[in-house]
Amino acid sequence: MSIIFAMKHEDLPPGKMKCHELNEDIILFANVGGKVYAVSGTCTHEDSPLCLGALRGHSVMCSLHGSFFDLRTGQADGDPADIPLKTYDIEISDGNIYVHI
């Protein structure tokens, strides 16, 4: 496992999300009330990019079929998706966000 720089913390304000490709993984980063989460950036139902979806509290909604995923656990919270997203540990240091891959 390695720790990789993802972005400046200031580039992900509360209520926003961004996707980045890091080491061939597409990772969605979301800032919910000042807490940053990182999960797989692709819906487990139809491989749709979750960055095209919407942030709803601690969940991201897939824009293709409306499945919700909990950013804290990766758990699928609504049909048609039933496979959870991979979650990633992050660190915030010196104003930067790092992800464990």
CATH number, position 47: 2.102.10.10
**Interval 1-13: pLDDT, tens:** 899 999 999 999 9
Strands (E), 9-101: 17-22, 25-32, 35-40, 54-56, 59-61, 68-70, 87-88, 90-93, 96-100
Q: How far apart are CA 57 and CA 9, in angstroms?
A: 19
- Statement: residue 29 has pLDDT above 90: yes
Global confidence as pTM: 0.94
Which residues, other chains included, contact 62 with Cβ-Cβ below 8 Å and sequence gap of 6+?
A: 43, 45, 46, 48, 50, 53, 68, 69, 81
**Interval 55-98: pLDDT, tens:** 999 999 999 999 999 999 999 998 899 999 999 999 999 999 99
Q: Which domain holds residue 75?
A: 3-100
Q: How far apart are CA 22 and CA 15, in angstroms?
A: 22
Number of domains within the chain: 1
